[in-house]
Amino acid sequence: MPSDAIEARNISKVFGQGETAVRALDDVSVTVAQGEFFTLLGPSGCGKTTLLRMIAGFESPTRGQILLDGADVTELPPNRRPVNTVFQSYALFPHLTVAQNVAFGLQMQGKPRAEVNETTERMLALVKLDEMAGRKTSQLSGGQQQRVALARALAPAPRVLLLDEPLSALDLKLRKEMQIELKRLQHETGITFIFVTHDQEEALTMSDRVAVMSAGKIQQIGPPREIYTRPVNRFVAGFIGETNFLAGEAADGRVTLKSGGATDATVANGRTGPVTIAIRPEQVRVGPSGDGTLAATLRDLVYFGTDTHCYLSLPDGTEVVARMQSPATGDIGLAPGATVGLTFAPGAAQVLGD
Amino acid sequence: MATLEDRQDARSARNGWLLSAPSLVILSFAAVGPLFIMLVYSFLKAGQYGNVEWAFSTDGWVATLFTRDIFDDTVSLADAHLTIFWRSVKLSILTTILTFSVGFPTAWFIATRPPKARALWLFLITIPFWTNLLIRTFAINEIIRSEGVLNTLLKKLGLIDAPLQIIYTDTAVLIGMTYVYLPLMVLPLFAAIDRFDMRILEACYDLYASRWRALTRVIVPIVKPGIVAGSILVFIPSLGAYVTPRILGGGKNMMIGNFIELQFGQGRNWPLGAALSVVLLVIVATALLFYVRAVNREVRHD
């Protein structure tokens, strides 16, 4: 069995000393498989960029080890790691042309001139910039600069490509294009990608697996679908997509909601006592009130085109959002103030950890 | 009839001339004027007790490169003059190289400090400017002269038996000029390095560049405008230096500046002095032309 592309073992990083010390990473362990599109997702300051810079070699861990293809690279400087980075600011060389930027890494590796030229041309074609080879990078648009940065980092055929929020400087339309482009490049090159972002949509659409980070710790690792549908705690549920949180009481493997009514959410390990239930807005069904439903009052309706959002409140004051597909007429036939009954889609309610 | 736009154009042109008038006046009186006088004087006859006689003569120009034997009137190449020219150019180039070698690490150090510390270091760099050049040069004299600080120290340490003869040599002039002109190299270098995006350096290392390759292939080309500016700022005043070679070089290690002064003073040969001034100007202009060209060509070849 081939070893993992990247393995981070019990990484801790403390910046500063004494009173002002900041723990950027706290005993983080993660493995990234060969050829995987792996995303580190979290709010700013969660340590995701620090972890990426550590894999690149720009930071060294206070404790822990980093393995690349099974070999310990913790002590290796960045120029001796077969890992390349696409920087958030691109960090292109302003004094070189597009082609010279792409060729730089290959030249530094001491590749023969013919191979450098051949690979550079291939990379420029890969990112569709063959026409721009002779231009200075300052003459390019943001999206084109992004492509140069990608080609430059891919040219030396790194074992792992690190991407530090590479799309954050682009506008929405370009961003969508680049998301597809990145996915295509990863597919064509077969290189392991580690992608850092604070954008949950980016993470969900592009990744094979996502690690959600917060406060220097990994909260959950899993495929996008699992992260979305089975968040393990309140942070993950709240950070990715919108979620309704409902208080409940667990007993005998079942959860009874405080506002009345039961759910089909299962509680593991015979846990009892107060728990929090998470349910996505699109899994909340709004219907006539009656037996087996959760009574609620419709406070407001917002029409979004494809969706209509219902803002509801439960008798105990808990706010609940339900998102339903707009019918053909656009009118869901309800008015604010109406009393309705809520039901949850089977299997959608999730009991959260702490 | 003039349109409103035409009248506005005319007014803005007039305002432009008015605004630039003070600098035009200063430039014509203080720069173009004296240069023109020098050029005229260089083609006149030398007066008996200095000054010039208003008669056309090329003696001044001939004397820049040749000497006329007083006895048999034969003309030969003036070796002493050539030596002075060569020494001036050589010392100026060496000064530029030395200030760069010392100044680049200094500027890099300052530019990579946190902003607060940076201001302090820059302030320290400019402190020598607060003292008169003459006094600073005498201070250097005090350090390197035979019984000076340096020799006394080396003797006490037992590293030398006899004092090092530094004072009144080209080396002394070089040390003095390097010290005096160092800030002129550091400041433009700092400005260029300060603008340098350190993330680009990370990109270098990320793309397998060694420290040396990162320096030569990326940092130096990017901060080149600062290097060019610093070199020009050091080279030009070095070439015309007067005080430093006078005090540290003694009487015999003259540079062009001292030589020109000699002609207007004891030598009483104003046309020669004027011609030498023009020669200095030409050397500076030529050197700059070659330097800037060479630098630009390098950029294209990269």
Taking only the tens place, the pLDDT of each residue in A122-138 is: 999 988 898 989 999 98
Predicted confidence band of residue A223 (pLDDT cuts 50, 70, 90): very high
Who's near B249: CB < 8 A, 6+ residues apart?
Answer: B168, B169, B170, B172, B173, B255, B258
The answer to whether residue B172 scores a pLDDT higher than 70 is: yes
Taking only the tens place, the pLDDT of each residue in A312-325 is: 988 888 888 999 88
The more confident residue out of A351 and A157 is: A157
Predicted confidence band of residue A336 (pLDDT cuts 50, 70, 90): confident
Q: What does the mean pLDDT of chain A come to?
A: 88
A160-188 core/surface letters (b: 16 or more CB in 10 A; e: else): bbbbbbbbeebeeebbeebbebbeebbee
The answer to whether residue A201 scores a pLDDT higher than 50 is: yes
The answer to whether residue B196 scores a pLDDT higher than 50 is: yes
Comparing A3-12, A210-219, A263-272, B33-42, which segment has the lowest mean pLDDT?
A263-272
Most confident of the ranges A18-27, B72-81, B279-288: B279-288
Residues 77-96 of B with CB under 8 A from A: none
For residue B299, the model assigns a pLDDT of: 53
**Residue B212 at interface with chain A, using a CB cutoff of 8 Å:** no
Q: How far is A255 from chain B (nearest CA, A)?
A: 52
Q: How far is A219 from chain B (nearest CA, A)?
A: 29
Alpha-carbon distances of A211 from A43, A192, A196, A220, rounded to whole Å: 12, 15, 10, 6
For residue B301, the model assigns a pLDDT of: 46
What residue of B is the nearest CA neighbor of A95? B222
CB A39 within 8 A of CB A17: no
CB A284 within 8 A of CB A275: no
What residue of A is the nearest CA neighbor of B200? A91
Contacts of A97 in chain B (CB under 8 A): none
3-state secondary structure chain A: CCCCCEEEEEEEEEECCHHHCEEEEEEEEEEECCCCEEEEECCCCCCHHHHHHHHHCCCCCCEEEEEECCEECCCCCHHHCCEEEECCCCCCCCCCEHHHHHHHHHHHCCCCHHHHHHHHHHHHHHCCCHHHCCCEHHHCCHHHHHHHHHHHHHCCCCCEEEEECCCCCCCHHHHHHHHHHHHHHHHHHCCEEEEEECCHHHHHHHCCEEEEEECCEEEEEECHHHHHHCCCCHHHHHHCCCCEEEEEEEECCEEEECCCCEECCCCHHHCCEEEEEEECHHHEEEECCCCCCEEEEEEEEEECCCEEEEEEECCCCCEEEEEEECCCCCCCCCCCCCEEEEEECCCCCEECCC
Q: With pLDDT > 90 as the criterion, what percentage of chain B qualifies? A: 60
For residue A123, the model assigns a pLDDT of: 92
Alpha carbon B277 to its chain's center:
15
d(CA B262, CA B254): 10
Q: Nearest by CB to A93, from B202, B210, B218: name it.
A: B218
The answer to whether residue A353 scores a pLDDT higher than 80 is: no
Is B207 within 8 Å of A79 when comparing Cβ atoms? yes
Q: Nearest by CB to B222, from A56, A94, A104: name it.
A: A94
Is B200 within 8 Å of A91 when comparing Cβ atoms? yes
d(CA B256, CA B242): 8
Beta strands at A192-197 and A37-41: parallel, antiparallel or unpaired: parallel
pTM metric for this prediction: 0.82
Predicted confidence band of residue B1 (pLDDT cuts 50, 70, 90): low
Is B208 within 8 Å of A100 when comparing Cβ atoms? no
Q: How far is B109 from chain A (nearest CA, A)?
A: 20
The answer to whether residue B198 scores a pLDDT higher than 50 is: yes
Name the phi and psi angles at B212, rounded to 5.
-65, -45
Residue among A202, A215, A332, A350 at smallest CA distance from A275? A350
Of the CA atoms within 13 Å of residue B99, those in its CB half-sphere come to 31
For residue A17, the model assigns a pLDDT of: 84
Which of B207, B222, B299 to mutate to test binding with chain A, by most A CBs within 10 Å of its CB? B207
**Residue B299 at interface with chain A, using a CB cutoff of 8 Å:** yes
Is A89 within 8 Å of B222 when comparing Cβ atoms? no
Contacts of B208 in chain A (CB under 8 A): 79-80, 105, 108-109, 156
Instruction: Kindly state the average pLDDT of the residues B208-214.
Output: 94
Q: How far is A178 from chain B (nearest CA, A)?
A: 21
What residue of B is the nearest CA neighbor of A80? B208
Is B203 within 8 Å of A80 when comparing Cβ atoms? no
Contacts of A156 in chain B (CB under 8 A): 207-208
